[in-house]
Amino acid sequence: MTNRVSSAPQEVEKMCRQAERDHESRKLLVLLERVKQQIAVRQSPTWSVDSHKPPVTVISSRSSSLRASSGTAPFDR
């Protein structure tokens, strides 16, 4: 049988608060790195406002009438 050391409730609370601070610090570091990367990308000469947006597909009324049924609606006509 293992011998466990029991901590006082104050010590447990102190360790929990420290763990929460450590976790928040890690999240903050990740956020800072992400912002630094975004700034670096935006400062590059090839970056433009539209470069990060996906292309838009235009659907006309004619092409929508020619499409096949999705199979999700049981009574497609």
Asked, for residue 18, whether it belongs to a domain, the answer is yes
Over the chain, what is the mean pLDDT?
76
pLDDT at 32: 96
Place of tokens 């050391």: 5
- Does residue 30 register a pLDDT over 90? yes
Rounded to the nearest angstrom, the gap between the alpha carbon of residue 53 and the centroid of all alpha carbons in its chain is 17
- Does residue 9 register a pLDDT over 90? no
Asked, for residue 43, whether it belongs to a domain, the answer is yes
Asked, for residue 25, whether it belongs to a domain, the answer is yes
Structure tokens at 12: 């447990």
Asked, for residue 44, whether it belongs to a domain, the answer is yes
pLDDT at 8: 81
Residues 6 or more apart from 41 whose CB is under 8 A from it?
47
Domain that holds residue 19: 7-48
Number of domains in the chain: 1
CA distance 52 to 26: 27
